[in-house]
């Protein structure tokens, strides 16, 4: 095991299953289990209360144990990308200190409600899924600065997006977006609105105002 004090990396070790001794490492602050062909994570993960970063990306996970919600100290990064997830345990809503979440390249058709309860999120990545809409509860993510939604099935954004006053970047590339709310004009810090590979949108006249305010709009 590649271990340095409270940091353990088992990246790309062909494990198939997490060794039992990992769950006894309660001192760990970061744990990398990416790219191991994992199909399940034991509920014992909930004992790793000191974790600040957990990487479960590039595996074959269909679901996650509710005990992940016990990791309320998880404040830096949670990587769940490139798995087979279509839902998340509601208990993950307890991760209110988490700043970065990546659930890209999975099978989500709706954004899990637990995600909108992660009030500390600064960056959210949900690219390459099957989302058809965002819930109005996205407005809870008042600290969010980056929202990455590339390659989904979104045709619009909710007006509630205008409540995310810290938002700097919105990536909507490759979505069948037909309309956007003028609530985007309420975002005082918006720097980048990426709409490349979107062929379904009639360009709103207020894009000019956005750009005059310093927001780069890519079409």
pLDDT at 176: 98
Q: 116 near 135, Cβ under 8 Å?
A: yes
> Where does the pLDDT of residue 5 fall: very low under 50, low under 70, confident under 90, or very high at 90 and above?
confident
Strands 216-218 and 192-194, by their bridges, are: parallel
Mean pLDDT value across residues 24-46:
98
Q: Is the pLDDT of residue 2 over 60?
A: no
Distance of alpha carbon 29 from alpha carbon 74, whole angstroms: 9
Mean pLDDT throughout 117-136?
Answer: 98
SS (H, E, C) the chain: CEEECCEEECCCCCCCCCCHHHHHCCCCCEEECCCCCCCCCCHHHHHCCCCCEEECCCCCCCCCCHHHHHCCCCCCEEECCCCCCCCCCHHHHHCCCCCEEECCCCCCCCCCHHHHCCCCCCEEECCCCCCCCCCHHHHHCCCCCEEECCCCCCCCCCHHHHHCCCCCEEECCCCCCCCCCHHHHHCCCCCEEECCCCCCCCCCCCHHHHHHCCCEEEC
Summarised one tens digit per residue, pLDDT across range 202-213 is 999 999 999 999
pLDDT at 47: 98
Strands 53-55, 77-79: pairing kind: parallel
Nearest to 14 by CA among 31, 36, 32: 36
Percent of the chain with pLDDT over 90: 98
pLDDT given at position 3: 53
pLDDT band at residue 192 under the 50/70/90 scheme: very high
Query: What's the mean pLDDT in 125-149?
Result: 98
pLDDT tens-digit readout, 170-191? 999 999 999 999 999 999 999 9
Q: Residue 111: how many CB atoms within 10 A of its CB?
A: 21
Convert the pLDDT of each residue in 62-116 to its tens digit. 999 999 999 999 999 999 999 999 999 999 999 999 999 999 999 999 999 999 9
> What's the confidence (pLDDT) of residue 109?
98
Residue 70 is predicted with a pLDDT of: 98
What is the C-alpha R_g of the chain?
Answer: 18
Confidence of residue 1 (pLDDT cuts 50, 70, 90): low
For strand 169-171 and strand 192-194, is the pairing parallel, antiparallel, or unpaired? parallel
- CA–CA distance, 58 with 82 (Å, rounded to integer): 5
Angstrom CA distances, 197 to 126, 152, 174, 194, stand at: 17, 12, 5, 9
First-to-last CA distance in the chain? 47
On average, the pLDDT of the chain sits at 97
Structural contact between residues 36 and 16, judged by C-beta atoms closer than 8 angstroms: yes
pLDDT at 4: 58
How much is the pTM? 0.96
């Amino acid at each position: 095991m590649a271990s340095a004090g409270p940091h353990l990396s088992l990246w790309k070790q062909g494990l198939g299953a997490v060794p039992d001794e990992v769950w006894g490492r309660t001192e760990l602050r970061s744990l990398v289990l990416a790219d191991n062909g994992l199909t399940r994570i034991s509920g014992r993960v909930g004992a790793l209360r000191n974790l600040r970063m957990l990487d479960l990306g590039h595996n074959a996970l269909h679901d996650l144990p509710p005990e992940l919600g016990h990791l309320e100290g998880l404040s830096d990064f949670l990587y769940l990308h490139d798995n087979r997830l279509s839902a998340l345990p509601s208990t993950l809503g307890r991760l209110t200190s988490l700043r970065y979440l990546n659930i890209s390249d999975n099978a989500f058709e709706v954004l899990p409600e637990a995600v909108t309860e992660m009030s500390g999120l600064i960056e959210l990545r949900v690219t390459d899924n099957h989302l058809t809409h965002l819930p109005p509860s996205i407005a809870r993510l008042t600290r969010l600065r980056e929202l990455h939604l590339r390659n989904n099935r979104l045709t619009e954004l909710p007006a509630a997006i205008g409540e995310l006053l810290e938002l700097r970047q919105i990536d909507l590339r490759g979505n069948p977006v037909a309309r956007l709310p003028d609530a985007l004009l309420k975002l005082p810090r918006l720097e980048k609105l990426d709409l490349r590979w979107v062929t379904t949108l009639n360009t709103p006249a207020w894009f000019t105002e956005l750009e005059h305010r310093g927001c780069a709009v890519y079409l």
